[in-house]
């Protein structure tokens, strides 16, 4: 039985993850972590997500290392915020516990900290900006198309609910980096986030990235390849957050089955789904 801890208790995606883990034969939820001094402390996570008591009480982030060690956790799942996740990943790695991270918005410096923690403590990790299976197939398709349509203009449009705090989304940024790498225009120099006023004609190698926020949109991503007289659009739409949860479960199972050489390395959903 895989012993799972969730970080982000009280969040919508974590609630769905808890429900799904409880229905998965080879997994059990043994710990639930909220933010430091969370008002949910002491509440049963099962009752919080609407499935009744399961005997797992929410604890604050200040008790993370103690909980991980006491419950002998195999994998910690994190869906929080960037800074919260960095600190949680460092603590979790120091405890020798593997991590699945769906949190987005990491800076380059934060990712360097995460990589160092994973490497130094030789734990396994799956970190992806989007855990949905379909999105990761979407990534593969746009990578292949960027190779073929390498002289077409490319624009990326993402749409999310009004409560999302980071922009562009992690998925849109990943799409940008995939395409930029294939076109040989790496880095962020070619990224244009929105346009306004007399900006002039489109520059060669420019990749537009546009963010839409409103309502309860779970997550829409479009990559538009525009040629002369024709265009091709690749679209992924997430109807519910369950799309992400399905990928998270696959990622947890992958970590437990992956070979020793994955210790100390960050893998992605491409590895989980054998898309590389």
* 204 compared with 92, residue with greater pLDDT: 92
Per-chain mean pLDDT for the chain: 95
User: What is the pLDDT at residue 235?
Assistant: 98
* 164 CB neighbour count, 10 Å cutoff: 16
User: What is the pLDDT at residue 129?
Assistant: 86
160 a catalytic residue: yes
Residues 60 and 193 in one domain: no
Residues 247 and 230 in one domain: no
User: What is the pLDDT at residue 187?
Assistant: 78
User: What is the pLDDT at residue 128?
Assistant: 93
DSSP string for residues in 68-108 = HHHHT-SEEEE-S-HHHHHHHHHHHHHTT-EEEE------H
Determine the average pLDDT of the residues in 253-270.
95
210 a catalytic residue: no
128 is in an annotated binding site: yes
User: What is the pLDDT at residue 75?
Assistant: 98
Kindly name the residue from 16, 124, 160, 250 that is annotated as catalytic: 160
User: What is the pLDDT at residue 276?
Assistant: 77
**Which residues touch 235 (CB under 8 Å, ≥6 apart)?**
220, 221, 222
Residues 125 and 247 in one domain: yes
Residues 217 and 106 in one domain: no
CATH code, domain with 148? 3.30.360.10
Provide, rounded to the nearest whole percent, the portion of the chain with pLDDT above 70: 100
User: What is the pLDDT at residue 37?
Assistant: 86
CB 266 within 8 A of CB 41: no
164-191: pLDDT as tens digits: 988 999 899 999 999 999 999 877 889 9
- Structural domain boundaries, residue 74: 2-131+241-273
Residues 154 and 117 in one domain: no
Determine the average pLDDT of the residues in 93-115.
96
Kindly name the residue from 43, 115, 164, 263 that is annotated as catalytic: 164
Residues 82 and 185 in one domain: no
What sections of the chain are H helices per DSSP? 12-23, 45-49, 64-71, 82-94, 108-121, 133-148, 170-183, 242-257, 269-272
**Into how many domains does the chain fold?**
2
Determine the average pLDDT of the residues in 37-42.
92
Residues 7 and 103 in one domain: yes
20 is in an annotated binding site: no
């Amino acid at each position: 039985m895989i012993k799972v801890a969730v970080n982000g208790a009280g969040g919508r995606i974590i609630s769905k993850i808890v429900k799904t883990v409880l229905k998965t034969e080879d997994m059990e939820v043994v710990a639930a972590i909220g933010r430091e001094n969370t008002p949910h402390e002491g509440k049963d996570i099962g009752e919080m997500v609407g499935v009744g008591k399961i005997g797992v009480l929410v604890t604050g982030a200040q008790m993370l290392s103690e909980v991980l060690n006491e419950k002998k956790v195999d994998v910690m799942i994190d869906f929080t915020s960037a800074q919260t996740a960095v600190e949680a990943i460092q603590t979790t790695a120091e405890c020798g516990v593997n991590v699945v991270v769906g949190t987005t918005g990491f800076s380059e410096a934060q990712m360097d900290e995460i990589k160092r923690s994973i490497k130094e403590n030789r734990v396994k990790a799956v970190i992806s900006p989007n855990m949905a299976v379909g999105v990761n197939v979407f990534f593969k398709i746009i990578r292949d198309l960027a190779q073929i349509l390498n002289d077409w203009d490319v624009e990326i449009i993402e749409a999310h609910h009004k409560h999302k705090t980071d922009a562009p989304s992690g998925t849109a940024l990943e799409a940008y980096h995939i395409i930029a790498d294939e076109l040989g225009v790496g880095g962020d120099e070619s990224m244009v986030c929105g346009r306004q006023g007399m900006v002039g004609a489109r520059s060669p190698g420019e990749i537009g990235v546009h963010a839409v926020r409103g309502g309860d949109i779970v997550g829409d991503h479009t990559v538009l390849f525009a040629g002369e007289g024709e265009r091709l659009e690749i679209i992924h739409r997430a109807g519910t957050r369950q799309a992400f949860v399905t990928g998270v479960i696959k990622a947890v199972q992958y970590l437990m089955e992956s070979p020793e050489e994955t210790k100390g390395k960050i893998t992605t959903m491409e590895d989980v789904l054998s898309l590389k």
